[in-house]
Structure formats: structure tokens, C-alpha cells
Amino acid sequence: MRTQTQLISDPQDLYRLLTTPGNEVASLLFAGDTVCWLSWRHANEAHVPALRHTNDVIASFVTAGGRMKM
């Protein structure tokens, strides 16, 4: 599963991500006193095999088209 990255400034959001079962923290970097850079992924989905018929480019195109319609 892909690693997701977030820039966090609220301590409650940081603690929520760190204590959620099923989240695997890849890296935790403090950019200052009030900002944290957190990379994480879903540990439960790490063992799910990737499907052959998925395409990230097509998914991005469809998502962008849907947002333009909204």
C-alpha cells in the first residue's frame, strides 16, 4: 500500500494518527515547534495483492473529471 504523507500542526491529529490501530508510521519529522511531517500507511492493506487491471493515471483522470463537474 502506498505511503500517505501529512503535514500536521494540531497535536490531537498527531496523537489520533499515532494511536489508530492499523496505521503503520513510516517516518515522523518535526519541522519546528508546531509542525510535524508524518508519513504512514494502512498496515491491514499491506498484505492485499495489487490488481492487474488498475491504473493510477486513469483513476486520476476520472477523479479530476468528477471534480470539474461538481
Tell me the domain boundaries of the chain: 4-69
CA distance 54 to 42: 19
How confident is the prediction along the chain (70 residues), in pLDDT tens digits per residue? 688 899 999 999 999 988 888 888 889 999 888 899 999 888 775 555 666 777 777 788 888 888 888 6
CA distance 44 to 22: 6
Residue 49 Cα to chain centre, angstroms: 18
